[in-house]
């Protein structure tokens, strides 16, 4: 083994033949063994007990950690949600969350960027601005860190920090790796990409025919209010968004979700319900109602039970299909829109 060999930051994202070259292994079956151990989320070469002891020691010396990132904080709340803060190789910090639902199904909520440039006014991550895009291996490693906590994590949502469509190539690369049946084997229908409405990304997703689920953060079907709440609406107003979604549905042939963050006194009156009903006309969608998750630095209010009930009554009358999301991870700032790690400049 070449002592001077420059090691990669991470082996995650690599196929066995790439691992073979990266580690300078002599036998291809050993690269396959390393790959399988990576999928089992081991932390170092020493644990790869089917490799010769000498080789393990050499590899361990060259690459003491199999991941480029380190968990620096872990918090769990009473709903069972665990938020991890992860330090990346350049000391930037990103967050991801493990969510457990009523059926004990475990979902990894992953980040695609450190911070976010989209500036949605109801979201803590938006207050950070964009620090940088994540590389595919950094996205995969979030999943690895969560899997070490819960090996039965079976679903993935890109609803953490960042706008996945603004880091499209790396997100797609990570998804393909996480989907690989020889690897983590997460079925495409168990993976959801959530966007604030970046039209080119929605169209690209339709084009490449990646059969993951799509969720779009709508928040309001009032163009003026949406521009006020979500700057993305200036570039891609509701008409453009709807045209893209119709195109997506035509090509992908799939129902998608519209996320509707409920902000008290803003988007929960009967007029808002009517506009929503009009917006979804002609599309096969499910509206996901999410009462706003509080963030101390933001000035919005969460609607109370009465306000939510009045809005859902309107939706019922208008025949709008909806589900109500019960927030998990709020008390550790791990719920939707609450991620915002402090980052060195």
CB of residue 74 to ligand SF4, shortest distance in Å: 21
**95 included as an active-site residue:** yes
Which of 217, 327 has the CB closer to ligand SF4? 217
**18 included as an active-site residue:** no
CB of residue 138 to ligand SF4, shortest distance in Å: 16
Pairing relationship of beta strands 70-76 and 82-87 according to DSSP bridges: antiparallel
Which of 119, 237 has the CB closer to ligand SF4? 119
Which tokens is 312 given? 């859902």
Which of 67, 338 has the CB closer to ligand SF4? 338
Q: Which residue is catalytic, options 18, 26, 95, 104?
A: 95
Burial class (CB in 10 A: 0-12, 13-18, 19+), 5: exposed
CB of residue 151 to ligand SF4, shortest distance in Å: 28
* φ and ψ of 193, to 5 deg: -100, 130
CB of residue 123 to ligand SF4, shortest distance in Å: 3
> How many whole angstroms separate alpha carbon 322 and alpha carbon 284?
12
185: left (phi > 0), else alpha (psi -120 to 50), else beta? left
Which of 120, 131 has the CB closer to ligand SF4? 120
CB of residue 338 to ligand SF4, shortest distance in Å: 10
Which of 161, 238 has the CB closer to ligand SF4? 161
* CB 264, CB 222: distance < 8 Å: no
Which of 1, 235 has the CB closer to ligand SF4? 235
> Which residues would be at the binding site for ligand SF4 (CB under 6 A)?
116, 118-120, 123, 125-126, 161-163, 196, 217, 337
DSSP-assigned letters across all residues of 288-323 = EEEEPPP-TTS------HHHHHHHHHHHHHHT--EE
* CB 320, CB 273: distance < 8 Å: yes
Q: Output the CA–CA distances (angstroms, integers) from residue 118 to 139, 213, 235, 236, 336, in the order listed.
A: 19, 21, 11, 12, 15
CB of residue 258 to ligand SF4, shortest distance in Å: 14
253's CB contacts (< 8 A; 6+ apart) are none
Cα-trace Rg, the chain: 21
Q: Which residues are catalytic?
A: 95, 336
């Amino acid at each position: 083994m070449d002592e001077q060999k420059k090691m990669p930051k991470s082996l995650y994202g690599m196929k066995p033949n790439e691992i073979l070259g990266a580690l300078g292994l002599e036998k291809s079956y050993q690269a396959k063994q390393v790959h399988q151990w990576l999928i089992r989320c081991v932390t170092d070469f020493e644990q790869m007990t089917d490799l010769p002891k000498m080789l393990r020691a050499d590899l361990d010396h060259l690459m003491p950690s199999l991941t480029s990132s380190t968990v620096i904080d872990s918090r769990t709340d009473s709903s069972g949600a665990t938020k991890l803060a992860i330090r990346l190789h350049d000391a930037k910090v990103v967050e991801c969350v493990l969510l457990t639902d009523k059926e004990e199904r475990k979902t990894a909520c992953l980040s695609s960027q450190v911070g976010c440039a989209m500036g949605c006014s109801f979201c803590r991550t938006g207050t950070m601005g964009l620090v940088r895009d994540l590389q595919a291996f950094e996205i995969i490693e979030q999943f690895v860190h969560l899997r070490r906590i819960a090996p039965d994590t079976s679903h993935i949502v890109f609803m953490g920090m960042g706008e996945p469509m603004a880091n499209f190539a790396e997100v797609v690369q990570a998804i393909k790796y996480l989907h690989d049946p020889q690897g983590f084997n997460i079925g495409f229908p168990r993976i959801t990409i959530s966007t604030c409405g970046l039209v080119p990304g929605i169209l690209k997703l339709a084009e490449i025919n990646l059969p993951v689920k799509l969720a779009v953060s709508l928040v309001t079907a009032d163009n003026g209010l949406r521009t006020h709440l979500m700057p993305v609406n200036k570039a891609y107003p509701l008409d453009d968004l709807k045209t893209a979604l119709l195109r997506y549905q035509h090509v992908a042939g799939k129902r998608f979700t519209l996320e509707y963050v409920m902000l008290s006194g803003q988007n929960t009156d009967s007029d808002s319900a009517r506009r929503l009903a009009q917006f979804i006309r002609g599309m096969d969608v499910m509206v996901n109602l999410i009462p706003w998750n509080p963030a101390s630095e933001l000035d919005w209010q969460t609607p109370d039970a009465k306000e939510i009930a009045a809005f859902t009554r309107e939706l019922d009358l208008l025949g709008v299909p909806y589900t109500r999301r019960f927030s998990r991870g709020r008390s550790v700032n791990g719920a939707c829109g609450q991620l915002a790690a402090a980052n060195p400049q």
